[in-house]
């Protein structure tokens, strides 16, 4: 399955989501087409699995970085969260094209909630666990605004510069830190 997801990531980067087919995926992964259909009913399902793998990797890397840096303040995680996202954007095959699935379907990660809501829930859990922040609707709303803002600014950074305009990235960090500092307790 890992080979199929790796092949999917490569093909999405090369051809985009619309150019991806299960036949091309099977060829690139070096598996029979039946093997693809054994695990995935269609290309959307393959991309969904790749997106979930990327989300898990992102959260794992972010959690490890927070633990490693032993951040005393929750707002230090803003820089870490953006830096990890930028790093995946630059280095993880398929991520620059798919992000967390929004280019395919805003409900790719969950049928009931949009992709960013799933990410917000995960980030909220991380902040509550690590820093003892009060969970609830206020936290999730503030994180929703922050995630949507970061998403827009990171897209802008990569439109301005292929590796991400560092000025836009730094402004995104400052803006989101300031916003969350006012709204998260």
Burial environment of residue 183 by CB neighbours within 10 A (0 to 12, 13 to 18, 19 or more): middle
Q: Read off the CATH number of the domain in which 102 is found.
A: 1.10.357.10
Specify the number of domains making up the chain.
1
Provide the domain limits for residue 151. Answer: 2-183
As a whole number of angstroms, the distance between CA 76 and CA 130 comes to 12
In what helix (H) or strand (E) does residue 93 lie, and over which residues does it extend?
A: none
pLDDT-derived band at 2, boundaries 50, 70, 90:
very high
104 conformational bin, left if phi > 0, alpha if psi -120 to 50, beta if neither: alpha
Per-residue pLDDT for 53 more than 80? yes
pLDDT-derived band at 98, boundaries 50, 70, 90:
very high
In Å, the largest CA–CA distance within the chain is: 54
136's CB contacts (< 8 A; 6+ apart) are none
pTM for this structure? 0.90
Per-residue pLDDT for 41 more than 80? yes
Q: How many CB atoms lie within 10 A of CB 38?
A: 12
Following CA atoms 52, 58, 62, 63 in sequence, which dihedral angle do they give, to the nearest 10 degrees? 30
Per-residue pLDDT for 185 more than 80? no
Percentage of the chain lying above the pLDDT 70 cut: 100
As a whole number of angstroms, the distance between CA 117 and CA 60 comes to 18
As a whole number of angstroms, the distance between CA 61 and CA 55 comes to 10
Per-residue pLDDT for 67 more than 90? no
As a whole number of angstroms, the distance between CA 39 and CA 130 comes to 36
């Amino acid at each position: 399955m890992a080979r199929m997801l790796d092949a999917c990531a490569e093909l999405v980067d090369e051809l985009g989501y619309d150019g991806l087919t299960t036949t091309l995926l099977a060829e690139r992964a070096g598996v029979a087409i039946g093997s693809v259909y054994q695990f995935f009913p269609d290309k959307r399902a393959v991309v969904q699995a790749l997106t979930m793998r990327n989300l898990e990797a992102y959260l794992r890397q972010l959690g490890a970085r927070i633990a490693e840096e032993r951040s005393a303040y929750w707002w230090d995680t803003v820089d870490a969260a953006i830096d990890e996202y930028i790093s995946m954007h630059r280095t993880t095959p398929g991520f620059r094209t798919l992000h967390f699935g929004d280019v395919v379907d805003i409900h790719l990660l969950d049928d009931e909630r949009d992709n960013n809501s799933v990410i917000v829930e995960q980030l909220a859990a991380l902040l509550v666990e690590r820093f003892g922040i009060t969970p609830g609707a206020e936290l999730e709303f503030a994180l929703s605004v922050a995630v949507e803002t970061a998403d827009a600014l990171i897209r802008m950074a990569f439109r301005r510069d292929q590796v991400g305009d560092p000025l836009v990235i730094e402004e995104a960090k400052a803006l989101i830190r300031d916003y969350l500092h006012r709204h998260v307790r």
